[in-house]
Amino acid sequence: MLLAAVGAALLVRVMKALQLGTAGLVDQATSRKLVHIISGLAFVLTWPLYSAAPSAALLAAAVPAANAARLIATGCGWMSDAQLISSVSRSGSSSELLRGPLAYVLVLLAATTLTWRQHPAGLVAVAMMCGGDGLADIGGRRWGGSCALPWNAGKSWAGSAAMLLGGLAASLGALSYFMHFGYLPQLQALGTAELLQRLAAISLACTAVESLPSRWLDDNITVSVTAATLSTLLLPGRWADSAAYLPPVWHAVGYVASLASKLADTVSSEIGKEPFAGAALLTTSAAVAANLLESYLGAALQGRYAWMTNDVVNVIQTCAAAASAVAGRQLILAAA
């Protein structure tokens, strides 16, 4: 976990140095996309370094979870981080962190907890998001000026070609890397030619989805969901059993935190909050954090998107409380 976290931080700093250097080696847009391409792929490539312990996936998931918390805090104005904003946002606005960058780390979080080293869907989704979508932007800006797509003037044939080839290469490379370490044995039975054909079909579909005009959903989400869905249908493997990551006491910790979160939500909504200090229980802290997340989602997003109903917000809140409590307990044990 430490290696992945330090590597991601160093990557952002290196790209920033290249951007601001006197030589002007990398402009801001290219720097941002290089971080987009490399950081996610580098993160999943650290997975084989983790132990075989059931809790290893949760430990790895702490990296994108921490980054998600940082993006939310900065995007909402709760903390100031000018370097983060300039490194990952197009417009320089802190609110932009709550769109594409947040979706990016949430995809990494989902891939880690749902697929881990057991199903190729997570790796393919990350590879398409990083290697495919990232190269599409670079290729489109450099060579796509005169070859816009007929159905989307904001995208180009050059960008789509970069998306197709980059996503295919990144997916094949990531899966081959994991198979080299003995993971994903079901894929080895397919053979290289068959695997390449199926990945090409997935990459083609993701390229088509990425080329569509969309004002509501970020490419990080649409491309990743498409890749994961098709990988589930076309590639053999088994989804990670999240319950297997947790010893019995962790089930209780997560349950108590989720229950406390809903109770806190009810109290804050119907009665109101009274300021107090001294909360020490991990489950209480997780409940409060999830309650703040629920308040933000309800205030900032629920009225903007039809699918963001109160039920969806409540599900996100409950899951966030359980996940943060379990991850917090693991961090406490690791630091002890």
- The pTM score is 0.68
Query: Domain extents for the chain?
Result: 2-242, 246-335
Task: List, in sequence order, every beta strand (DSSP E) within the chain.
Answer: 148-149, 152-156
Among 56, 188, 65, smallest CA distance to 120 is for 188
Count how many Cα atoms sit within 13 Å of the Cα of residue 55 in the half-sphere of its side chain: 17
- DSSP conformational letter for 118: T
Q: Which residues contact 51 (CB under 8 A, 6 or more apart)?
A: none
Residue range 96-123: mean pLDDT, rounded: 89
pLDDT 10s digits, 230-249? 999 999 887 665 445 545 54
- DSSP conformational letter for 274: -
| Residue with the larger pLDDT of the pair 256 and 201 | 201
Lowest mean pLDDT among 17-26, 161-170, 205-214: 17-26
| Residue with the larger pLDDT of the pair 56 and 258 | 56
Q: Give me the phi and psi of 148, to 5 degrees please.
A: -70, 150
Residue range 99-125: mean pLDDT, rounded: 90
Handedness of CA 234, 188, 122, 252 (dihedral sign): positive
pLDDT 10s digits, 307-327? 667 766 776 777 777 666 666
Q: What is the CA radius of gyration of the chain?
A: 21
Handedness of CA 318, 321, 322, 323 (dihedral sign): positive
DSSP readout, 223-255? HHHHHHHHHHHHS------GGGGS-HHHHHHHH
